[in-house]
Amino acid sequence: MKFKMSMSGVSLLVIAGLMLNIFVLTPKILGASTKSQEVLNYIASLNAKTSNQVLSGQQTGDAAGGLSGYKQFVEGLYQKTGKWVAMIGIDYSYPDEVVPSTVSSLNQMAIKYWKAGGLITISAHMGNPWGGDVRNQTNIGNYNDLLTPGNAAYNAWMSDLSKIADGLTELRDKGVVVLWRPLHEMNGGWFW
């Protein structure tokens, strides 16, 4: 195809949009597992479907509340409609620290849902590493502290990241593909 310099801005936007669509429909993550790539391809293919279907999901709740939220929202919806949501969302941490026993319980729920054909998304409302919970905006130190060993904020931050990594590793080892959404609400005016 040859393009003339006199093309209108609208034409260029249409061409750019078509090119973007091509890239969106053929995603590739270097080093991704086969299953991860299959999930990504499936999600990317939804745009091209003409069947007017929607991929829906349900956040089960924050941390320990995720188990009761699963029963209430996900199982409750199934009992009323006979249909399962395509994706469940769980949160490893809220409002302050990551608790390994909570992560383990949530992982068991995620593994079961994945094996039944569902998709899994995980977020973490990580607590303020300078002290307090996710909503503590008054006690914020220098963000370089999070990357500098030898201070309390670094130790708290790395401890939570380690617990999250342990949870995600367990899921990976069980073959569960996770759509990971760390700090997904960090732009909220209430987030540290």
Q: What is the model's pLDDT at position 137?
A: 66
Q: What is the model's pLDDT at position 12?
A: 41
Q: Are strands 87-91 and 119-124 parallel, antiparallel or unpaired?
A: parallel
Task: Give residue for tokens 């669509």.
Answer: 21
Q: Measured in Å, how far apart are the chain's first and last C-alpha atoms?
A: 51
Q: How confident is the prediction along the chain (192 residues), in pLDDT tens digits per residue?
A: 333 333 343 434 444 444 444 444 567 777 888 999 999 888 888 877 777 777 899 999 887 888 889 999 999 999 999 999 999 999 998 776 788 999 999 999 999 999 999 999 999 888 888 887 666 666 788 999 999 999 999 999 999 999 999 999 999 999 999 999 987 777 777 777
Token reading at 51:
């069947």
User: What are the two backbone dihedrals, phi and then psi, of residue 133, each rounded to the nearest 5 degrees?
Assistant: -95, -170
* pTM of structure: 0.79
